[in-house]
Amino acid sequence: MKVSREQMAENRRRILDAASRLFRDKGFDAVSVAEVMKAAGLTHGGFYGHFNSKDDLIAQTLAHVLAANSAGGLDIRAYADAYLSPRHRDNAAGGCPIAGLAAAIRHQTPAARSAMTEGLRSQIHRIDAALPELDPADRRRAAIGSWAAMVGAVILARAVDDPALSDEVLEQTRSWIDTILAK
């Protein structure tokens, strides 16, 4: 039985969403194509109707999830509060793909790295646009610095086995960003 274009698009979205969660939770190398397809509720055989390879899946998943995470306007203070929270830290599978995958991306294909680059550019632009009270040079510096601090804080907070230190990394980074935004 032939699948409609709408169903193909829906299946593709399900695959990308499942891959995104699995990659953020386990990393690229620890996730198999069969695992992605099972999580999407589809058979392994259907994979190659959507993607050329696992590398193609990785690149397209990054583009998909980063575009979704960079959409819309931004209240920078509310965003920083949510991003630098224990809830976000503890939800790697549903959290920021940059914080979850940035360290591993350097070992991926040029297409995957390009998707990460575009996602980073988009997020910097989104934060920059949320800081209209600053002059353009300060706004870009604040956007890049704040975003780098936020991502780094989540990576570090997830890496340590000391809950108090993990919480402190998030809290102090949030406090530091407040001082940058207050200027």
Domain ranges of the chain: 5-182
Q: How confident is the model at residue 5 (pLDDT cuts 50, 70, 90)?
A: confident
- Structure confidence by residue, pLDDT tens digits, 16-38: 999 999 999 999 999 999 999 99
Note the pLDDT tens digit of each residue in 143-176: 999 999 999 999 999 999 999 999 999 999 999 9
Domain 5-182, CATH 3.40.50.720 — does that match? Answer: no
pLDDT at 145: 95
pTM of the model: 0.88
Contact between 18 and 39 (Cβ < 8 Å): yes
Q: What is the DSSP string of the chain?
A: -PPPHHHHHHHHHHHHHHHHHHHHHH-STT--HHHHHHHTT--GGGGGGT-SSHHHHHHHHHHHHHHHHT-S---HHHHHHHHTSHHHHT-TTTS-HHHHHHHHHTTS-HHHHHHHHHHHHHHHHHHHHT-TTS-HHHHHHHHHHHHHHHHHHHHHHHH-S-HHHHHHHHHHHHHHHHHHHH-
